[in-house]
Amino acid sequence: MGSIEEKLDNQLLILHASQTGNAMDAAERLGREAERRGCSFVSVLSIDEFQPSELANMKTVIFVVSTTGQGDNPDSMKGFWRFLLQKNLTREWLKGVQYAVFGLGDSSYQKYNFVAKKLDKRLLDLGATPIIEKGLGDDQHPSGYEGALDPWMSALWNTLYRMNHKLLPDGPDIATPDSILIDQPKILVNYHDANEGLPPPSTTTDLEYLEMQIKGARSMAHTKFSGKNKPDCFLKMTKNHQLSKPDGGKDVRHFEFESVSSSIEYEVGDVLEVLPGQSPAAVDAFIRRCDLNPESYITVHRRDKENRVLNHSLFPVKLKPFVELTMDVASASPRRYFFEVMSFFASAEHEKERLQYFASPEGRDDLYQYNQKERRTVLEVLDDFPSVQMPFEWLVQLVPPLQTRAFSISSSHAAHPNQVHLTVSVVSWTTPYKRNRMGLCSSWLASLDPNQRVVIPVWFNKGSLPPPPPSLPLILIGPGTGCAPFRGFVEERALQSKSIPTAPILFFFGCRNEKNDFLYQDFWLSHSENGGVLSEDKGGGFYVAFSRDQSQKVYVQHKMREQSRRIWSLLTQGADVYVAGSANKMPSDVLSAFEEIVTNESGVPRGAALRWIRALEKAGKYHVEAWS
């Protein structure tokens, strides 16, 4: 019994809940730093790999959690959070457990680091003891989330050492020399003969073969893809139409797709996740730069600290499709640890010194300027340090994973059987050093020619906007591409209204200019006339704010205030509110407009109006889907 107690005293459990990989990266860094201070038993796990009922048996747990969207839990944390909210858990349940929480968020969002804050409060409520004050990483900091992580980590090691010398026997500051740890990648790559690989395409259809490749490659990848290994179906683009005017400063597209595999099933408000294609030239350049054989057949295995292989029974896949389908080599920036590992494989002294500086606390801000601010890609970084030759195992472990991109569906399945439509702004920007950058997925979709058959792997998911029943009055606010899901809502209700009575819809749309980016102008206007579902004679209405067509800027919240009485009337009839669009200031500006409307129309004080709207949120009648 003593040895189990002793192991618990020396054990550090680090749980991460990550949506894009940043929280996982920060958690793995905490694990490495603990090992370098002599901690014997460090476990770094995704929070969904941990049994929440075991939490009460732990002694020391560190949580690294990101906040997504409007204060939402990452997908991997949803089950864990539901468990923690059970009413049968007592205030003593976590007595004896000491914990620390580090959050990753963005202070430009209304619910900044909301997940870390509510987790911290819930752990306290259940009797756990905080080791130090929660840390809050901010994407807006000049060094990103690491600006808060570095000092927080230093305080954590100092406090843990004071509390329990056994946990960090080498002290809070004495780190094991990195060279002892650097030869231990968590990945093992085995090479195989061609006849051991997937069955050749001649024995399967092209789609079956592609599906097997995607499933095989993504199930082997170092990063868990949250079940997104086998696509729900494959689509082919049938329409690529530019909605915005070419000289209007923005490129917004309407895409239409049809299924080329299984039938499509979705509801309005759902989200389509797309696996983007990478530039073949960039993939080839990466393979050449890293001196890899694209024709090799490989299996990729994860291994634990004892060097045991964790995933067996894998089909070998070709190295080139493995890179194409799992490793983001030419759009995402590498993490800080990538530079640290590169420094060990640099044969040129000046490159080694620069990489060591970038990986050090002193070089953190310069690395942020060089790397994240410029959105340097893995390929660009490797080209900047030509003497570095990293083993493939390290590349698999450290190159950012190729993530799916999520888009609100802008069609009704009932109106378009076997089709799905998207409204996509093609992302482009200029870095501080005047590099032109393009969003990987949006620019790839924009480049596709509907006359050529390009097969697109996709997944259908529930979004934050539940499909409304036809009898429910709706207040929709969707400026810019935020109108996308509401195009589907209006299509569906127009179809329903032909056979049954339907409730009214108020829709507030906003864009910069009537001439350049009034998206779906004819569609909205046709439904707001002649007794359509957006028409005033049906109790609804369509109101558009052109922010730059006059000297004073006009936004959706100004149009809402103008229709204050109509909004209040629908709210008192039990309307649901749906807000979609940019996550920056828009959701909080819209919320303030609602507060003002409720205050003015009902005569209650502002604080009571806010509580009334919060009650709407709690009752599931105020929905927000926002993206950055």
| pLDDT for the residue 325 | 95
113 is in an annotated binding site: yes
- Per residue in 198-236, pLDDT (tens digit) is 666 666 678 888 888 898 888 888 776 656 788 999 999
Phi-psi category of 338—alpha, beta or left, where left has phi over 0 and alpha has psi -120 to 50?
alpha
Averaged over 375-397, what is the pLDDT?
Answer: 96
336 is in an annotated binding site: no
Dihedral sign for Cα 457, 462, 463, 465, please: positive
- Per residue in 488-528, pLDDT (tens digit) is 999 999 999 999 999 999 999 999 999 999 999 999 999 99
Residues 504 and 590 in one domain: yes
111 is in an annotated binding site: yes
453 is in an annotated binding site: no
405 is in an annotated binding site: yes
Of the residues 370, 398, 426, the one at which a domain ends:
398
In a domain, 444, yes or no: no
Of the residues 371, 398, 425, the one at which a domain ends:
398
The answer to whether 451 and 554 have CB atoms below 8 angstroms apart is: no
Residues 347 and 204 in one domain: yes
Residues 97 and 201 in one domain: no
109 is in an annotated binding site: yes
As a whole number of Å, the CA-based R_g of the chain is 26
Residues 11 and 119 in one domain: yes
171 is in an annotated binding site: no
547 is in an annotated binding site: yes
9 is in an annotated binding site: no
57 is in an annotated binding site: no
472 is in an annotated binding site: no
19 is in an annotated binding site: yes
- Per residue in 389-440, pLDDT (tens digit) is 999 999 999 999 999 999 999 999 999 999 999 999 999 999 888 889 999 9
In a domain, 234, yes or no: no
444 is in an annotated binding site: no
Residues 215 and 166 in one domain: no
Burial group, residue 124, by CB count within 10 angstroms (0-12, 13-18, 19+): middle
In a domain, 465, yes or no: no
Of 54, 52, 61, 63, the closest CA to residue 18 belongs to 63
Residues 8 and 61 in one domain: yes
| pLDDT for the residue 205 | 76
Say how many C-beta atoms besides its own lie within 10 A of residue 620's C-beta: 9
- Per residue in 143-185, pLDDT (tens digit) is 889 889 999 999 999 999 898 878 888 888 865 555 545 667 8
In a domain, 599, yes or no: yes
589 is in an annotated binding site: yes
pLDDT-derived band at 193 (thresholds 50, 70, 90) equals confident
627 is in an annotated binding site: yes
Residues 114 and 145 in one domain: yes
Say how far apart CA 579 and CA 331 lie, in whole Å: 30
Helix axes 349-359, 336-344, angle to 10 degrees: 150
Q: What is the CATH number of the domain that holds 386?
A: 1.20.990.10
Domain residues for the domain of 122 are 2-176
Residues 197 and 162 in one domain: no
pTM as predicted: 0.88
* Residue 272 predicted with pLDDT over 70: yes
In a domain, 249, yes or no: no
Say which DSSP state 409 is in. Answer: B
* Residue 342 predicted with pLDDT over 50: yes
- Per residue in 557-601, pLDDT (tens digit) is 999 999 999 999 999 999 999 999 987 789 989 999 999 999 999
In a domain, 466, yes or no: no
Of the residues 398, 426, 451, the one at which a domain ends:
398
Residues 163 and 220 in one domain: no
38 is in an annotated binding site: no
184 is in an annotated binding site: no
Looking at per-residue pLDDT, the higher value among 6 and 280 belongs to: 280
Domain count, the chain: 3
29 is in an annotated binding site: no
352 is in an annotated binding site: no
Of 144, 28, 22, the closest CA to residue 400 belongs to 22
Residues 139 and 218 in one domain: no
Say how far apart CA 101 and CA 624 lie, in whole Å: 26
Residues 60 and 163 in one domain: yes
